[in-house]
C-alpha cells in the first residue's frame, strides 16, 4: 500500500478544525479522520481511549474551550512521516495556532505525533500524542493556573 498524501490529509484536518471554531462544530467531518477507536496520549502519561461515536461530546467541549481562549485558527507548517509497520505510519505534524489575546494576535507553534493506519478508504488516525497544551496556554497567558480562560 502506498503512503498517503499526509500533507493534504492534515491540511483537510486543519480546515475542519478551523470551521469548527465557527458557529458549528464539524463533528462528522472530524470523526472521518479517526479510526473506529482511537487513543489520546499525553506526554504526562495520560491515556484516553475513545470510540468514534464518543467523539461528539468530547469535540463539542473541546471547541467551546478553544473558542473561550481566543483560538482563531490552526495551520499546518510541515509534517514528518516515518513508516512504523506494514500499513502504519508515525506522522508528526508541526502546527501554528493563532489566537486573539485581548485584541492582540498571538501565534503558538507546537507539534502532535499521530499514529495512522493506511487503509483502502484513506488514512485513519488510531492514536495521537500531544504535548502539554495547558502549559503552553498558561505560559502565553491564555489560561490561568486553574486552566480557566483569561480572555
Residue 86, pLDDT > 90, answer yes
Residue 45, pLDDT > 80, answer no
Spatial contact of 88 and 117, defined as CB atoms under 8 Å apart: yes
When the pLDDT of each residue in the chain is averaged and rounded to a whole number, the result is 94
Residue 95, pLDDT > 80, answer yes
Residue 147 gets the label, from left (phi > 0), alpha (psi -120 to 50) or beta, of left
Residue 117: CA count within 13 A, CB half-sphere: 13
Q: How far is CA 15 from CA 1, 3, 48, 86, 100, in A?
A: 26, 21, 24, 29, 18
Task: Characterize the bridge pairing of strands 47-51 and 104-117.
Answer: unpaired
Domains and CATH numbers, the chain: 6-139 (3.10.450.50)
Question: Which residue has better confidence, 97 or 40?
Answer: 97
The DSSP symbol for 9 reads: H
Residue 102, pLDDT > 80, answer yes
What pLDDT shows up at residue 1?
73
Amino acid at each position: 500500500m502506498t503512503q498517503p498524501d499526509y500533507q493534504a490529509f492534515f491540511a483537510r484536518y486543519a480546515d475542519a478544525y478551523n470551521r469548527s471554531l465557527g458557529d458549528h462544530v464539524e463533528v462528522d467531518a472530524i470523526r472521518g479522520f479517526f479510526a473506529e477507536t482511537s487513543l489520546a496520549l499525553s506526554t504526562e502519561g495520560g491515556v484516553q481511549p475513545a470510540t468514534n461515536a464518543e467523539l461528539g461530546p468530547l469535540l463539542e467541549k473541546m471547541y467551546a474551550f478553544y473558542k473561550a481562549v481566543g483560538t482563531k485558527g490552526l495551520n499546518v507548517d510541515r509534517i514528518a512521516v516515518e513508516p512504523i509497520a506494514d500499513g502504519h505510519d508515525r506522522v508528526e505534524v508541526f502546527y501554528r495556532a493563532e489566537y486573539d489575546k485581548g485584541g492582540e494576535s498571538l501565534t503558538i507553534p507546537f507539534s502532535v505525533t499521530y499514529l495512522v493506519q493506511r487503509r483502502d478508504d484513506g488514512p485513519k488516525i488510531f492514536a495521537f500524542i500531544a504535548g502539554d497544551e495547558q502549559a503552553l496556554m498558561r505560559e502565553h497567558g491564555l489560561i490561568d493556573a486553574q486552566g480557566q480562560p483569561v480572555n
